[in-house]
Chain A
Amino acid sequence: MNIHTYEKVWLIAALVLIVGFIATVTYGSVGLGIAMIDDSEETVEPGELGEDERFADPRVEQVGENEYEAYVVAQTFMFSPDPIEVPAGSEVTFYVTSRDVIHSFSVAGTNINTMVIPGEVATMTVEFDEPGEYGVVCNEYCGSGHHNMEGQLHVVEEDEFDMTELSVEADDEVETGDEATIDVAVENRMLEELETTVTLEIDGETFGEDVTVAGGETETTTFTVDTADLGEGDHDWTVTVDDYEDSGTLTVVDELEEEDDDDE
């Protein structure tokens, strides 16, 4: 074959360029230990995510001192949990799956981006050094409401981050003279123990109790309120633990109406 000299030079240059590209990408993806989305996770049944220990309750979980795992479910047309909250200075592994069609989980403007295919679990580990707020979009067409599918990823200051959950059970209505109880359960989903104060404010009066909740545990504090002091009528109350708040109204009546009060 008769190849012109310039053509030969060009051919060699082209081959060098191509091999160069392959080498760079290989180094960039294998050499630096950057993971690609792959087939490392077992498949799941998209119709039975409700029974799946990771995806039944989409959430962020702490698994090591600065290590977290986020179990995310994409479905038409939302992500859960939303927002996803993680601390700065942490390493987070995302596990993402779909309940219905193909979606994507794409943190806008970053390289956190994966397809979400029903039956498959996409996983990637990301280091978050700085606090920030990101938008999460679905960038694969998933149906007529696709453009409404969005979520948020909040990377919060390390010392502002907690995984505390507050739930309050309180009487709604009591007879004058009886005691009203307000049970405050504080769950600490972090690994380290949590020291905090539970405060109850009712009718301008404040009660406080210090609690220590071990990692992964729940502590319940019970406040007992003497309704004779409160008097008949509606009394608003607020329970506060750190940044969390719950509130309600306690009604003190003269005499309880006869009805089967279901106290669970």
Chain B
Amino acid sequence: MMTMSNAYIDDFPAEAKVIRAAFYSSFFALALGGVFGVIQTLHRTGYYRFIDSADYYTVLTAHGVFLVISFTIFFLVGIFTWAVTTSLDRGVEDLRFTWGWYGLMAIGITLSGVAILAGFTDATDISASVLFTFYAPLQGHPMFYLGLVLFVVGTWLAGVDWFRSWWAWKGENPDERIPLPTFMVLTTMLMWYIATLGVAAAILLFLLPWSLGWIETVNPLLTRTLFWFFGHPVVYFWLMPAYMMWYVLLPKVSGGKLFSDPLARVVFVLFLILSVPTGIHHQYLDPGIAEGFKFIAMTNTMFLLLPSLLTAFTVVASMEHGARQRGGTGYFGWLKALPWRDPVFTGMALAGLMFAAAGFSGMVNAGMNINYLVHNTFWVVGHFHLTVGTAVALTFMAVTYWFLPQVTGKALWSRSVALGQVVLWFVGMTFMSNAMHRAGLLGVPRRTAEPQYDGFEFEAAVGSIGELQAQIALGGILLTLSLVLFFANVIGTGLNGRSDDLPANEYAGTLSGPEDAPLVLDNLKLWTAIAIVLVIFAYTFPLLSIVDRGGLFGPELNPFPVSIESVTLLAFAVEHLAVGALESLSLPGLLEVIR
């Protein structure tokens, strides 16, 4: 059959199939995660509780793992495969290898997912209600840890796949600059290799052998620190693909070009260098880690603002360029010339806007001293639903409307439903996240099935707890509706027939191209070496000190089976009833904490 279209699937039909598989795995995880999300929203706020509060944590584990591990990472391996093949203009080196890493990821997440979901039934002993941070001595079933390992190894092999493509391409094009999308993929993967060493060490050396009973105990502070070694940079593993979309797709759908290729490279290099030596900022409140180490992490974290601030500039400048190409004029008037009816554009623009808001709450989190006010409160949940839950998730959903036709060869089912979907997400998240931030300031904790206590009440200076709960529940419902619209479009598109009238597979050109970028920017070895040195600098002493204090395997401690006898629970319930209700409190907020 002759086809006029120049979509991705026409050039790379076999790769398009892998990308489709990755996307569908990602969307399946998104659907599950969304269902759990609304269940916990209604449970926490007290509007509708149909599960046992003890099961809330199984729901929360599933929500966290399915969304931030499976949804995000399956999606990004899809677009990274697209980016490498498209920008190098060559297919993968060995298709079996490509399916191999996809398969490994799929098996891995299935094992972990089953271990988590088995927590809902008493039919098996298997459970892993340990949340996505799995802090020891909370212990999950070995299958949970094993699955995570396989999944991560799958991503490592995916990286190998993309490096192979680049090496092969370089052999044929020795004097050319690395095309920008490939450059972004490679720097992101280098960062990811370094970052995942932490979680690999935590699981392979300690948690997995411990869950299998091969070692008796673990050092909770050590495994926790290794987790955050990975836990912060994983944030950039989600974010860098979203940034890539803002750099290579957003300018194009705005009708213009990327403002500066060199600056984009600088941004990704900065991420590679600075993402990992910051993880201790999640441990500002941990006893057993010296203040100086926390301070180093804070300094690095603040510098990590730089690439995001630069991105803000480039993104806005590129959008303005696009708008002016489309005839926009004036100081702010050009905004009106942007393609607001295009869901791909609007989704990404709204995601970027929310990310700017997230920047502010992020700066509060990063401040070592103010962090005490918000650490582990609902504020933090509000914050990361703006970052990963919107900047990343909404960008991914928006670009899906561009990618789906590219990898299926079918026209999008409905552009207006898509537009409604991205706007609804924005509105829902505005309600939910804003109220979560405010509740956090009152001290409402995160990760809690019933944030209602017997002995005291949270008191709001403005509004009331009831009003905040209502906004959170409303936001959660709007977000769920938005997801329904999203899946309607995915399914509707899948049911469409092949179209030969699809946009061509292209990404944005640049105003200032790679020829303006110093050659050293493409020296990946150099940047990797610097990144490793910074990691050694930031982590050697804290890790040595933790091992020195608590021992490699920590103190005598029993693993904590996450299910507890209902008898004990009953005893606690009775005890807490006996404490009785007390009158409400007025909270003065900041107290003077001194040495």
A residues bordering B, Cβ < 8 Å? 1-4, 6-7, 10-11, 14-15, 17-18, 21-22, 24-26, 28-29, 33-39, 41, 43, 45-47, 76-78, 91, 100-102, 104, 106-130, 132-135, 137-148, 150-152
The 8 Å CB contact of A18, one of B305, B372, B441, is B305
Tell yes or no: B214 within 8 A of A by CB.
Answer: no
Give the most central of A2, A35, A117: most B CB within 10 Å: A117
CB-based contact A109/B285 at 8 Å: no
Once bound together, how far apart are the Cα atoms of A25 and B370, in whole Å? 8
Q: What are the interface flags for B326-369 relative to A under an 8 Å C-beta threshold, 1 for contact and 0 otherwise? A: 00000000000000000000000000000000000001001111
Determine if B23 is an interface residue (Cβ-Cβ < 8 Å).
no
- Chain B's closest residue to A148 (CB) is B572
- Answer whether A38 and B589 are a contact pair too, CB < 8 Å, given A14-B306, A14-B310, A109-B443: no
Instruction: Quote the shortest CB–CB distance from A45 to chain B (angstroms).
Output: 5
Q: Is the CB of B594 within 8 A of A135?
A: no
Interface centre among A3, A43, A47, A151 (most CB of B within 10 A): A43
Q: How far is the CB of B421 from chain A (nearest CB, A)?
A: 32
A112→B591 contact, CB < 8 A: yes
Question: In the bound complex, what is the Cα–Cα distance between A143 and B590 (angstroms)?
Answer: 29
B285 touches A78 (CB 8 A): no
B450 contacts A by Cβ under 8 Å: yes
Which chain B residues lie closer than 8 Å to A137 at the CB level? 443, 445, 448, 453
Q: Is the pair A148, B573 in contact by a Cβ cutoff of 8 Å?
A: yes
| Stretch of B96-104, B403-411, B477-485, B551-559 contacting A (4+ beta carbons < 8 Å) | B551-559
Q: Is B48 an interface residue (CB 8 A)?
A: no
Complex Cα distance, B549 from A161, in Å, reads 38
- Let me know if A14 and B259 touch, CB within 8 A: no
Measured CA separation A147–B60 after assembly (Å): 13
B591 engages A117 (CB within 8 Å): no
Contact among A3, A130, A151 for B588, CB-based, below 8 A = A130
Please give, as numbers and ranges, the residues of chain B lying within 8 Å of A91 by CB-CB distance: 594
Minimum Cβ distance to chain B for residue A230 (Å): 34
Please name the residue on chain B nearest to A130 by beta carbon: B588
Q: Pick the contact of B260 from A4, A28, A124, A130 — CB < 8 Å? A: A4
CB distance from A63 to the nearest CB of B (A): 15
- A119 x B310 contact (CB < 8 A): no
The answer to whether A102 and B135 have CB atoms under 8 Å apart is: yes
The tally of CB-CB contacts under 8 A between chains A and B is: 295
Q: Are the CB atoms of B221 and A117 closer together than 8 Å?
A: yes
Check B562 against A18 for contact (C-beta < 8 Å): no
Q: Tell me how far the C-beta of B49 lies from the nearest C-beta in chain A, rounded to whole angstroms.
A: 12
Cα A134 to Cα B545 in complex, Å, equals 35
B172 at the interface (CB under 8 A from A): no
Provide 23 A-B residue pairs closer than 8 Å at the C-beta atoms, listed in order of the A residue: A4-B260, A6-B317, A17-B309, A21-B302, A21-B367, A25-B369, A33-B595, A41-B287, A43-B288, A46-B555, A47-B557, A101-B560, A106-B443, A109-B441, A132-B588, A135-B455, A135-B457, A135-B585, A138-B445, A140-B447, A142-B138, A147-B53, A150-B456
Q: How far is the CA of A39 from the CA of B291 in the complex (A)?
A: 8
List residues of B (114-156) whose CB comes within 8 Å of A's CBs: 129, 131, 135, 137-138
Give A112 to B593 CA distance when docked, in angstroms. 7
How many B residues touch A, CB cutoff 8 Å?
A: 103
Confirm or deny: B550 has a beta carbon within 8 angstroms of a beta carbon on chain A: yes
Q: Does B89 contact A (CB under 8 A)?
A: no
Q: Which residues of B contact A133 (CB under 8 A)?
A: 456, 582-583, 585
Residue-wise interface mask of B (201-244) relative to A, using a CB-CB cutoff of 8 A (1 in contact, 0 not)? 00000000000000000011100100000000000000000000
Q: Is the CB of B291 within 8 A of A132?
A: no
Q: Which residue of A lies closest to B521 (CB)?
A: A1
**Docked-complex contact B302 and A144, CB < 8 angstroms:** no
B560: which A residues are within 8 A, CB to CB? 76, 100-101, 143
A152 touches B455 (CB 8 A): yes
* A144 contacts B585, C-beta separation under 8 Å: no
| Closest chain B residue, CB of each to CB of A135 | B456
Residue B453 contacts which of A78, A112, A135 (CB distance < 8 angstroms)?
A: A135
The one of A17, A46, A122, A139 that contacts B556, using a Cβ cutoff of 8 Å: A46
Q: Which residue of A lies closest to B380 (CB)?
A: A139
Q: B220 to chain A: which residues have CB within 8 Å?
A: 101-102, 117-119
- Which A residues lie within 8 Å of B517 (CB)? 1
| Distance between Cα atoms of A137 and B560 in the complex (Å) | 20
Q: Which residue of chain B lies nearest to A20 when distances are taken between CB atoms in the complex? A: B302
B259 to chain A, nearest CB (A): 7
Q: Cβ of B496 < 8 Å from any Cβ of A?
A: no
Cα(A53)–Cα(B309), bound, Å: 52
Nearest opposing residue in chain A for B376, CB measure: A139
With CB as the reference atom, state the residue of chain B lying closest to A13.
B309
Report chain B residues within 8 Å CB of A77: 572
Bound form: Cα–Cα A76–B564 in Å: 10
Q: How far is the CB of B19 from chain A (nearest CB, A)?
A: 34
Distance in angstroms from A147 CB to nearest chain B CB is 4
B369 touches A146 (CB 8 A): no
Q: How far is the CB of A132 from chain B (nearest CB, A)?
A: 7
Interface check B74, CB cutoff 8 A: no
Q: Is the CB of A101 within 8 A of B262?
A: no
Is B420 located at the chain interface by the 8 A CB criterion?
no
CB–CB A39/B545 < 8 A: yes
Indicate if the CB atoms of A39 and B137 lie closer than 8 Å.
no
Contacts of B499 in A (CB 8 A): none
Shortest Cβ distance from A54 into chain B, in angstroms?
14
Instruction: Give, as a whole number of angstroms, the nearest-CB distance from A13 to chain B.
Output: 8
Bound complex: CA of A143 vs CA of B136, how far in Å? 11
Rounded to whole angstroms, the CA-CA distance of A113 and B317 in the bound complex is: 42
**Given the complex of chains A and B, what is the CA–CA distance between A25 and B451 in angstroms?**
31
New contact pairs (9) apart from A4-B317, A130-B588, CB-CB < 8 Å? A1-B262, A14-B306, A18-B303, A37-B287, A47-B555, A76-B564, A102-B137, A109-B587, A111-B373
